[in-house]
Amino acid sequence: MSSSSNQENINKPEGQSILNVVLVFLIKMITWILKGVSRCTPHKVTSRLLSTFHQPDLKAIAKELENFPGGSIDLTKDNETGIAVMVINNPDKRNSLSGKMMVEMSEKVDQLEQWAQGKGLILMGKDGSFCSGGDLAFVKKALHYGAEMAAFQHHTLTRLHNLPLISVALLQGHTLGGGAELSTACDFRVMSTSGKIGFVQVKMGITTGWGATTRLVSLLGRKKALQFLSSAKIMSAQEAHQEGLVDHILQNSLSHNEELEACKQWLGLNYCNYDSNLLQAVKALIVHCDSSKDTSKSLKYERDVFAQFWGGPAQKAALAAKIKHN
């Protein structure tokens, strides 16, 4: 740089050069913001802003979901053993979840939150199948209602996951899509040797709608979560156990009821031997330590992304294709 320009700089009043710095900074900031906004389509900005500020009215969503009938969620609590069994009961549709069943599951979780003698919970499906996800008849009628349904399910499954009970999903038969998501809302997964599990959402033109991405990353880490969710792989019991998703495989050739009894034994003998107050305190401590990471922020973002695909062309094409995830 020539000495004369150096001379200029040296003679420039202090305020002038600070003003220049501030001006340059402001121009850079404005350019950066404009670049950022142009990257998002108006739709994405709107829906993200909406979901950030929009607090779902769960009571109103429940009223709407109850308009989609079918099946039931049945709960039995054994005050002697302290183990409850929650049954996803829609066997004619492979225990897929209707809107009504989503509301009933929320109500049963309410009951379990108040169960003083509770120690453990087994979540299972009726007649030897766990759950094949959302009831597709409900799904096709609720394509306008994805964000609300996801908000409702996130609320229920986060409370299920955080129950002061040690929970096990008994995976018999098929566990698909939303059904696989339900299984991640339990502390453990026990599977029959012939069972199959697959996070098939991406094959259905959507991302996870019931919170499984957040829970899988926390449970098994980013890599395994990415493998399951991007491949839509249908895993056998052996494969799921090898991946660490399933904690115990039941012995072969048991009847459906014998598998339930074996699951009760596994849960009772391993994790429900002590006083319910103590066990509930142990689980509450685990939940507190786990939720110190910001899972609510992660779930909110998961809902935002889900809402951008739900009802979109890829989901409509998948629904029209009547895909069977055998």
What residue ranges bind ligand LZKTLF4L (CB under 6 A)? Answer: 93-94, 96, 132-137, 139, 174, 176-178, 200-201, 204, 206, 209-210, 323-326
Phi-psi region of 255 (alpha: psi -120 to 50; beta: other; left: phi over 0): beta
> Nearer to ligand LZKTLF4L by C-beta: 122 or 234?
234
> Nearer to ligand LZKTLF4L by C-beta: 120 or 178?
178
Q: Say if CB 75 and CB 84 are below 8 A apart.
A: yes
Give the whole-angstrom CA distance, residue 79 versus residue 97.
Answer: 28
> Nearer to ligand LZKTLF4L by C-beta: 213 or 280?
213
In the complex, what is the shortest distance from the CB of residue 40 to ligand LZKTLF4L, in angstroms, rounded to a whole number? 24
> Nearer to ligand LZKTLF4L by C-beta: 101 or 279?
101
Could you give the 3-state DSSP secondary structure of residue 312?
coil
In the complex, what is the shortest distance from the CB of residue 203 to ligand LZKTLF4L, in angstroms, rounded to a whole number? 8
Q: How many Cα neighbours within 13 Å face the side chain of 201?
A: 25
In the complex, what is the shortest distance from the CB of residue 57 to ligand LZKTLF4L, in angstroms, rounded to a whole number? 20
Q: Which residues pair with 248 in a beta bridge?
A: 190
> Nearer to ligand LZKTLF4L by C-beta: 98 or 280?
98
In the complex, what is the shortest distance from the CB of residue 76 to ligand LZKTLF4L, in angstroms, rounded to a whole number? 25
In the complex, what is the shortest distance from the CB of residue 195 to ligand LZKTLF4L, in angstroms, rounded to a whole number? 12
> Nearer to ligand LZKTLF4L by C-beta: 178 or 195?
178
Whole-number Cα distances in Å, 135 to 89, 99, 216: 12, 8, 23
In the complex, what is the shortest distance from the CB of residue 161 to ligand LZKTLF4L, in angstroms, rounded to a whole number? 16
Closest of 134, 119, 154 to residue 204, by C-alpha: 134
Sign, Cα dihedral of 109, 71, 183, 256? positive
Sign, Cα dihedral of 216, 217, 220, 225? positive
